[in-house]
Copies of this chain bind each other. A is one copy, B any other.
Amino acid sequence: MEVRRRIVVVGGTAAGPKAAAKARRMDQHAEITIVQREPDLSMATCGYPYYVGGSFDDRNLLLAAPTGALRDPKFFLDVKGIKALVNTEVEAVDPVAHTVLCNNLLTGEMTTHPYDKLVLATGASAVVPPIPGINLKGITTLQSMRDTDYLRQVRDAKAAKKAVVVGGGLIGIEVAEALRLSGIEVTVVEMMPQILAFLDWEIAKLVENHMRAKGVHVATGDRVAEFLGAGERLTAVRLQRGVEMPCDLAVVAVGVQPNVELAVAIGLEVGDCGGICVNEYLQTSEPDIYAAGDCIEVTHLITGKKVLAPFGDLANLQGRVAGQNVIAGNKVTFPGTIQTGVCKVFDFTVGSTGLSEASARRNGYDRIVSMVTAGPDKPHYMKGRLLVVKMVAHAETGHVLGVQCVGAGDASKRIAAAAMAIQGKLTVGDLGNADLPYAPPFSPPIDNLIVAAHCLENKMLGRVHTISSTEFKRKLDAKEGLFVLDVRGPDEYEAMRLGVGEKLIPLGTLRKRVNELPRDKGKEIVCYCKISVRAYEAATFLTANGWTNVRVLEGGLSAWPFEREK
């Protein structure tokens, strides 16, 4: 008789069930067991904020297969032939004896499960900082179904009027939106100088401005020093800068950390980022133990360094790889990540793939070029919505290192395309000739991503000299005596303007009004318009006519992150 392989998977959320299901498809006779500490399986954790925010009202959708079937142990057994132990914690793993000791958290029963191959998919946990008052009632994370139920009940019962979200990362921002959509006054407190650290500052600022426009308060560069309470209940937070903000709800979302206690107890290698070390087969330092999902470190495909990449999609892909390798041996690999991410922030889509300018510099890239561009995501006659794109490339090779894209337009598509371009090692020049799908309902004739590549190429070739919004602002604040040239039309100027002493000369009249420009041909001139396309034309004209220090404001007014007069 055939010997049945025994596969034990620790963790039942994303990577775990995926590994188990894939192992089952690879081997119908294996004995496959999932051990899950939570009461639920295959929870749609990324969907929690959308349930809290009212995108849908049926809690079961978070726990059910698309067919409507609840993904409980019976489902796993009947449909997939997988034994799932819920409410069960792994107490110990003996890597020599190849056994897992489990504790049923409801009954206290201890059981031992032998394995041939073990998969650790222990996930990550929300970091809970040791802030005084952290245990007051009304403070939660958004990490589990219990948290989700709590916040949804707050929404439904209208039990909170003011909330503080601690942390302006992805989850913090999603929670802030969900609570705001629940009618709660929300303040996001972020200790860094910006929200959404995967974006460069000036891009994150555009998102922050949009959040403010939607009624969310954002306090960056500050942190919660203390949670204040009346009795056991939260009543306010005190920020480090001294402000005290009344609130009846606080959600802590300062990040997640890999759950590696079990791995450490087993004696597995853990890396510098705090995740379990695995090779490209997702095998740990113990050959019969694999790991997948938020608990591991993976290779960053651009920098080559190990990073944490706690994304739900990658957890699934890794589960699929581990599930194959535990059955078939080390046949397939998970090469790594470029840390692609996207989120919805009210009417904005916010995405990033590859390296931001800041992350590139942090990773030691110094020969990089970047550029911010802006433009509608469809032709104006199809009511295109604005997108701001920042592209970062390697100055010598021209390889695209990263793309950020935010705005009311379809950023998700541009980030998906950019992610594939980076994974295909395309250069800025390649992207400039890319054959992307075009039709008026979906994109402008030259897609935003291609426009970004064209502009960055022009900059790399010295055809245009640009100035970033932050540098321009610094020069304005330092009163460096720039000549600021707005080349839009008078009606546009009436509707919106910087108000920094700029000169308005519409592009169409510029050729006739050169006498209104500085006599000193060396004077620094900064041109802009709405998206800086007309400004680019103006700058080439001025440069060709002898002005030697003409710069174009990257992204124009559409990407201006600071306040305007109007």
Contacts and interface: CB of A to CB of B under 8 A. Distances in A.
A490 B76 CA distance: 19
A412 interface: yes
How big is chain A's contact interface, by range?
35 or more
A313 interface: yes
Nearest to A416: B417
A454 B317 CA distance: 10
Interface string A364-398: 00000000000010011111100000000000000
A421 B29 CA distance: 37
The oligomer's copy count stands at: 2
A462 interface: no
Interface SS of chain A: mixed
B317 A351 contact: no
Contacts of A25: 463, 536-537, 540
Interface string A417-447: 1111101111001101111111111110111
A233 interface: no
A241 B96 CA distance: 78
A508 B75 contact: yes
Contact of A430 (B423, B430, B445): B423
Interface stretch (A114-122, A155-163, A335-343, A468-476): A335-343
A443 B412 contact: yes
Interface string A392-422: 0000000000000000001011111111110
| Ranked 6 nearest A-B pairs via Cβ | A424-B424, A28-B544, A342-B437, A313-B438, A420-B420, A61-B381
27 contacts: A25-B463, A28-B543, A46-B445, A55-B382, A61-B380, A66-B380, A67-B534, A68-B489, A79-B508, A81-B541, A312-B438, A313-B445, A316-B446, A317-B446, A321-B433, A333-B433, A341-B437, A342-B438, A343-B439, A413-B416, A415-B437, A417-B420, A418-B420, A421-B424, A423-B424, A423-B435, A424-B424
